Chain A
């Protein structure tokens, strides 16, 4: 016969303060565990959302990031004339030759030495059409041929001296900020955009960084890929799906956050497991007579073991639930840091996913079972007579 679950649950309730402290300990560990996973997931989600599967990006073979890549004018013209590039209603290829570079901006409230690298992207007219996630929300689009830029609205809040109608100075010129854009949760939300020709002139750059174009159809990517591998004029270049490329940029930083964070939380979890173990041992010691009574009533050793394991499991799951609930509030928080792959600033939010929820609850369950196992074994091993006799 089984001992009812409510027995385990009510036992926790009678010792509210001790239960509360153990739950809080587990909750703290679970909170950190979930927060780390959410941070890494947020970074990945942001960069994955930056690219589109319909677009292809062409870069120099060895380049890991756009800033390190270079594509010559000739190469870009050859790419633009390929049949795999989709054409717009005006008959022109939907393709943008882009140049990316970086400028330093000072974070709001930071010292003047605390500078961040902000990505400046020079685009062709089709650049905006290729990225429907970028929308101008205030002001207007920059004029091609003028020293004008549009900036992400997130930069206005985060950095000194960036405002609509104002100007920023870089590369020996003053650039008017004529519009603000909203790029949602994508990497573009940490960028400044302008005319590629103006930016190349100002920075004295002879080559583009990369070329992005809309693929004509499903097979276009593979046929373009084999073309680039065989055409001697293009064999210094590589092509990737845009989504794949940006997702790759998140790898280093995301795995760094995950490894560091998980090592830390696993060490922490020992602290919480020991907390649960102490509580459960005390629960067993206090209830020796009660356990003897249960056994005398005919409950099997296994039932006692299970009842105590459940008690520990409840403890951990309540803690896990609270930790997870608090961690889910982090979704409102935006973090801005340097991406190690591009050396440019990227801002992203904590992101909760079903996988993280399940992972966190499994983690809490494991803490409860491991912490509660030895005390439960002790409870089930108690001898009926001596248990009943103890005071």
Chain B
């Protein structure tokens, strides 16, 4: 017990220095947590994917469309429960910085296949009935202060022209992590216009979403779907929703790698701050350590004192940092809500932050310990300031 008391006393001998060091470590631990959480948010879409959904898209690239006629063929495959489709509409709402997915879909099946988007029954019925109706996520409704009956004007880019949609439903996410920034509207509405203005582009859809009865059939069914359209004008590529989402994440892999590297750089900074403090404290106490040695304390005792102090500071800083991470991440989540649908701190992040703080505490103690054990009593006593 006495040893712990001595360690604590030592830490707070220089109150300002101790406070600064703890603060420094806390800031570093907090930024480590924030960075890891951002990286996690990037992957959260692919974590949200359902195992019983496959996505079929054009084999060459996502930007090409598939014929609507494929749908019935896919439906015939044994093990397929339902097939729906979506088209990426793009367009500009208010100005070009307002980004959220606008999707043309099949109103009859879309919400059966995505049960995580919960629409009240009366709203869903109203949506199905009206040609130019749309359903938006609750988050969008909040951000743009939209309510049922409001009109959304969108300027088309992929599909040129001025488009108007009436909000007929607002969906809620089933889970906290469900994306609430989508806008769904009738694909028929889009198609009718295309039949008039650009017939070659009509009767095409962006990608199919296939619900299968048994997730373990995913590989077989994927192969069968792609087999159907082999050597056709539009060959397909079918993969699980998770793989599909992961493909999008991989597009930004360079940025993610950068963030990962930076999150480890911060650990280097924690180390330097703490090691510096420990080194200074130990140097100032060279004489004191010599006195302790004269009194009969061995180098082991001194090592214990120094390591104890270093680890205690690291742990205090680490705890403060982890506590700080929570409000900072929720502030960040509010600011970046439009880019990341859901941001939450994983348990692993907290554990890693704690482990790194502890490791840094141990390593930062090594230098001063070596110094103190090497210094002889005589040299130590002779030391000035």
Contact = CB atoms under 8 A, between A and B. Distances in A.
Interface of A: 17-18, 21-22, 24-25, 28-29, 31-32, 39, 60-64, 67-68, 70, 101-104, 110, 113-117, 170-172, 203-204, 206, 236, 257, 260, 264, 267-268, 270-272, 274-275, 277-279, 281-282, 285-286, 335-338, 343
B119 interface: no
A70 B258 CA distance: 36
Contact of B246 (A64, A113, A206): A113
Chain B interface size, as a band, is 35 or more
B149 interface: no
Interface in B232-268: 233, 235, 239, 243, 246-247, 250-255, 258-259, 262, 265-266, 268
Given A115-B250, A278-B20, 5 more contacts: A104-B61, A113-B246, A113-B247, A270-B27, A275-B273
List 4 tightest A-B contacts by C-beta distance, closest first: A338-B251, A274-B24, A337-B254, A62-B157
Contacts of A32: 262, 265
Interface of B: 14, 16-17, 20-21, 23-24, 27-28, 30-31, 34-35, 38, 60-64, 90-92, 96, 155-158, 160, 200, 231, 233, 235, 239, 243, 246-247, 250-255, 258-259, 262, 265-266, 268-270, 272-273, 275-277, 279-280, 284, 367, 385
Contacts of B61: 101-104, 117
A148 B64 CA distance: 21
A24 B272 CA distance: 8
A170 B61 CA distance: 10
21 contacts: A18-B280, A24-B268, A24-B272, A28-B265, A31-B265, A60-B157, A63-B157, A70-B160, A104-B61, A117-B62, A117-B251, A171-B60, A204-B200, A236-B160, A271-B27, A271-B31, A271-B273, A274-B20, A275-B273, A282-B17, A337-B253
Given A60-B157, A63-B157, A113-B250, A343 B23 contact: no
Given A21-B272, A115-B247, A264-B262, A204 B233 contact: yes
Contacts of A24: 268, 272
A64 to B, nearest CB: 7
Contact of B63 (A67, A114, A257): A67
Nearest to B161: A62
Given A102-B63, A271-B27, A279-B276, A110 B255 contact: no
Contact of B20 (A60, A104, A110, A277): A277
Contacts of B279: 17-18, 21
A68 B262 CA distance: 35
B294 to A, nearest CB: 20
Contacts of B258: 39
A21 B275 contact: yes
A113 B239 contact: yes
Contacts of A206: 200
B200 A267 contact: no
A68 B90 contact: yes
Contact of B31 (A67, A117, A260, A264): A264
A275 B252 contact: no
A274 B250 contact: no
Contact of A343 (B38, B63, B156, B262): B63
